[in-house]
Amino acid sequence: MINDFHYLKPASLKEALAMYAEHDDCKVICGGQSLLIVMRQGMVTPEYLLDIKHVKELSYIKFEEKDGLRIGAATTHREIEKSDIIEKKYPVLVAMEEKLASIQTRNWGTIGGNIAHADPAGDPGPVLIALNAEIKFGNSSGETTVPLDEFFVDYFETKMEHGDLALEIHVPTPEPKFGCAYQKFNLLDSDMGIVAAAASVTLNADGTCKAARIVLGNAGPIPLRVTKAEDLLKGKKLDDALFAEAGKIASEDCEPVADIHASEEHRRHVLGVLTKRMLKKAFEQAQKAA
């Protein structure tokens, strides 16, 4: 049962930020796919609920070749999934969204809400970090932009403080010879991942690895970059042996927690396998890329 609350519906971003600054015991709702669950469970009982669903300034998808992709925080998962420009330039985002929960959830849930909720089992975080994304958030006093891999602090915690709203996700234009892949391991196709792995690879003109990112989902309190494995790959001609070694490092450096779905040992094993597979897939994409 959800406790009574005062409902706030701002007409603009400026009004939303002012309302949020004015009310201390206030939670932000946009899609509500996560917030309403914890409210029903009595885990949070805000006096005020700030609904930013209809703040049009926060809902958009824009792409420019030099600047990259910009997604407003109130953009729905379904809009990302069905975007032609995202499918062309960032197909891994579309593939990720197609497996994110149900169509009903994707129709209403938003990218900003998902990231701000900071569930380590969430799908967008690892993929966007592998794509070198950054997030812009702000309050009535100003805005801040940080790399997404610096945004998450702990379970369900981010660098945002009370009064801050997630505003925009920025993803740079992929370099030439770039590939990115993501897969989660789950029992039902649309469930959150028991564990997940995203990997991106950028190749030099001579075929050696220019850069790599490996990001694990639900392998600790935040999306986890495996920098030791990334460093292993840089400057080398990539092959199955290196992918296997990177997977081994990922399985050792992660911090999974056992639960009713899988033991810690099983999670580590699957993370190693997924890392190896996603690196190979990203590498093959990079080889074919212009």
pLDDT band at 27 (very low <50, low <70, confident <90, very high): very high
Residues whose CB falls within 8 Å of the CB of residue 43, separated by 6 or more in sequence, listed in order? none
Q: Please check the confidence at residue 284 and state whether its pLDDT lies above 80.
A: yes
Q: Please check the confidence at residue 184 and state whether its pLDDT lies above 80.
A: yes
Residues 117-141 have pLDDT tens digits of 999 999 999 999 999 999 999 999 9
Residues 193-237 have pLDDT tens digits of 999 999 999 999 999 999 999 999 999 999 999 999 999 999 999
- Interior angle at CA 128, CA 127 and CA 129, nearest 5: 90
pLDDT band at 187 (very low <50, low <70, confident <90, very high): confident
pLDDT at 7: 97
User: Euclidean distance between the first and final Cα of the chain, in Å?
Assistant: 54
Q: Please check the confidence at residue 62 and state whether its pLDDT lies above 80.
A: yes
pLDDT at 233: 98
pLDDT at 188: 78
Average pLDDT, the chain: 96
pLDDT at 190: 74
pLDDT at 192: 84
Domain segments of the chain: what residues? 6-51, 178-288
Of 27, 25, 18, 16, residue with least CA distance to 49: 27
Q: What percent of the chain has pLDDT over 70?
A: 100
**Helix, strand, or coil here: 38?**
helix
Structurally, at CATH architecture level, domain 178-288 sits in 2-Layer Sandwich (3.30)
Q: What is the CA 241 to chain-centroid distance, rounded?
A: 29
Q: Please check the confidence at residue 80 and state whether its pLDDT lies above 80.
A: yes
Q: Please check the confidence at residue 1 and state whether its pLDDT lies above 90.
A: no
Residues 82-103 have pLDDT tens digits of 999 999 999 999 999 999 998 9
pLDDT band at 33 (very low <50, low <70, confident <90, very high): confident
DSSP result, 67-112: TEEEEETT-BHHHHHT-HHHHHH-HHHHHHHHTSS-HHHHHH-BHH
CATH fold of 6-51 reads: 3.30.43
